[in-house]
Amino acid sequence: MSDLTGAADLRFINGVASRRFAGGELAAVDEGILAAAVAAAAGGTPFVRAATLAAALLQRHVFATAPLQTALLTLHCALALEGLSLLAPQGVVAGMIRELAAGGDAATVAGWLEDRAVPAAAG
């Protein structure tokens, strides 16, 4: 399991997304809801963990500032920490994130990720 499941990592990702897409304003985060989102993504394959974490962040409304962007960055970071890169057009990935935000199924997204993620090139 990757180390991206920590609350501090997710707050950092949200800070990056907020600075880039929301003018840097950060809203307060309910630590209990954040901890529950992290716990929800504790098991399964890298694809299941990444999709479940993104879904939990969105569906539990963990971050009020830049939530879609935070979930998208979290998805990419979670896969990268597992040595994977996602090969899909940005618009399609963004659509999957919007679908999760609207209550979409994390298992469907996990299967979608598994079909589109490849081992990352060694740097």
How many whole angstroms separate alpha carbon 24 and alpha carbon 104? Answer: 28
Q: Tell me how far CA of residue 34 lies from CA of 5, 53, 100, 117, in angstroms.
A: 10, 10, 17, 26
Residue count (the chain): 123
| Series of mean pLDDT values for 10-residue runs along the chain (123 residues) | 75 95 88 95 95 97 96 95 94 96 97 96 69
Nearest one of 58, 54, 91, 70 to 19, comparing CA atoms? 70
Q: Domains of the chain (ranges plus CATH)?
A: 3-119 (1.20.120.1870)
Q: Which pLDDT score, from 0 to 100, does residue 5 have?
A: 67
